[in-house]
Structure 1
């Protein structure tokens, strides 16, 4: 392959990776899909490709759909042990963020909701909401009619809107204050304050550091407060597991407020928060090492603010 063809592909790699991440919810899988697309590009008769960007978007989308339909992925995700891979704000894989719809489409909340959609519904939703493709273009990408594309989008929007929690984009200063109050209450064991910071229908989800067969779920403020009090309290056993003390940093992950537990230069765990009416509606705990690789790599290039807790 000549250098011009390689340069053409590399110029669009970031956009393709962002598309694949939204479709798959995994940075690792997204990178694999983009690399597979490069192999297709390498083998193609490029003289017959009129619009390379559109051709590559079609290839990546259909590679992702094939993966979403695979038996292995269905087993992994229907087993209830899957959460989207978190990315630090500023990661180029998060892609376009000019509109509310683009930012929302890459939130952990929406990426989780997209699991409830069929692969075609998910693809139409992402292509339309995040990348502003027309229904005619989506129909060409997916090999369906424009009418079918419109129907898929209608169903996807309805299901995402019905299941969505939170109140959109919270004020950054208020979001940080609420998370800091939650952290302070959890580490000091103040159950009443924790409950007061949660919505009445709050829920929490944890991957159990990748050790559990299923996600651990908690569905009342009292349960969440008890788990947070136990989970956020530092103990000698936790420090042995981490290889020493950790710094606890405030961060933005997939557009949402979060706290990161950082022993040395790696991220041991991420806890993200969805807010509603200045309270916490959803807490997600992600600590499976395989889900934190890219987050750690981005953190090492990041210049963080001083930690909320220097030695946890």
Structure 2
């Protein structure tokens, strides 16, 4: 038979020249990238987002499609509920996490970087801001501000009244706006800043780092208790630059870096003695780096070998 099994759904998916699949499978496949994006933006974890998709599929196949007027909206509602359940249970895991917690970085397709709204919504900087929201606030913000879902539909997804959802959305938007980057920079400006940072990093140029870092730059590193990382954020250009140069000097390792695109934004993939050591994502403001997010936890580096498609539609 000319078909293959899809690991997420556990059912046959059509291939060229093969048989057509059932309507439930076709609808799920058509919206899968959207559902993953919703779950990932809510959870900050690709592994948990995939689990939420699996649970969404198991719920979806039991639905009477004849009673569903808008399949996309219905699927978004299911995945939101599943992600919201997981978000609440993840709180304990994060409280027990060793050191700082950063979102799981994703190697993304070129179209993600080209979509300014999508690239900002999945940026490390904004994802960290979303971590400061309550689970319900985060779900409401993501659905309303990122995916422009109507208040009535959000209310059905989170189990609140539309009036309450409006209040939550206003509160979450105000909270995020107070903490998000002041102004968006062009992809070219971001790439230029990352390139300057890369040159200074590889040559261990203290002044070069000071030139590209914003005065109040914040460095956050995530080793997950597996790899060494600073236990708390380091703040200030001088402290960050001296820590980087000093740490490289003490380590006595061969460090190389290569430009990449993580979560729709310019980033660096770092190798130590030829082995992948981690990913550095940045936040750029006024052509200087205001945030450095260094993910070293090996369990969070499984999505940097192949591109993950994301979409708002």
The equivalent of 2:221 in structure 1 is: 206
Higher alpha-carbon deviation: 289-298 or 26-35: 289-298
The correspondence for 2:268, drawn from 259, 275, 278, is 259
Aligned-pair CA distance for 1:132 = 1.1
The correspondence for 1:117, drawn from 128, 133, 136, is 133
The equivalent of 1:103 in structure 2 is: 119
Aligned ranges 1:80-91 → 2 under 5 Å: 81-90=100-109
Runs (4+) of structure 1 moved beyond 6 Å? 263-266
Q: 1:85 to 1:166 in 2, by over 3 A?
A: farther
- Residues 1:77 and 2:77 are matched in the alignment: no
Structure 1: runs of 5 or more not aligned: 240-245, 300-312
Q: Deviations over 1:66-95 (max 9, x none)?
A: 11111xx11222345321111123188x6x
- Residues 1:186 and 2:201 are matched in the alignment: yes
**2-structure distance, mates of 1:97, 1:152:** 30
The equivalent of 1:296 in structure 2 is: 305
Higher helix share goes to which structure? 1
The correspondence for 1:61, drawn from 74, 80, 84, is 80
Higher alpha-carbon deviation: 255-264 or 109-118: 255-264
Aligned ranges 1:279-290 → 2 under 5 Å: 279-290=288-299
Aligned ranges 1:16-31 → 2 under 5 Å: 16-31=35-50
Higher alpha-carbon deviation: 249-258 or 284-293: 249-258
Q: What is the aligned length?
A: 286
Aligned-pair CA distance for 1:140 = 2.1
What RMSD, in angstroms, separates the aligned Cα atoms of the two structures?
2.8
Question: Does the Cα contact within 8 Å between 2:216 and 2:290 map onto a contact in 1?
Answer: yes
Question: Does the Cα contact within 8 Å between 1:166 and 1:274 map onto a contact in 2?
Answer: no
Q: 1:200 to 1:74 in 2, by over 3 A?
A: same
Question: Tell me, what secondary structure is at the counterpart of 2:306?
Answer: helix
Q: 1:11 to 1:117 in 2, by over 3 A?
A: same
The equivalent of 1:43 in structure 2 is: 62
Aligned-pair CA distance for 1:210 = 4.5
**2-structure distance, mates of 1:288, 1:220:** 24
Higher alpha-carbon deviation: 127-136 or 175-184: 175-184
**1-structure distance, mates of 2:155, 2:114:** 24
**1-structure distance, mates of 2:194, 2:28:** 41
- Residues 1:15 and 2:34 are matched in the alignment: yes
- Residues 1:224 and 2:240 are matched in the alignment: yes
The correspondence for 1:139, drawn from 132, 155, 167, is 155
Question: Tell me, what secondary structure is at the counterpart of 1:83?
Answer: coil
Question: Does the Cα contact within 8 Å between 2:124 and 2:293 map onto a contact in 1?
Answer: no
Aligned-pair CA distance for 1:202 = 0.9
The correspondence for 2:51, drawn from 22, 32, 36, is 32
**1-structure distance, mates of 2:273, 2:211:** 33
Aligned-pair CA distance for 1:48 = 3.0
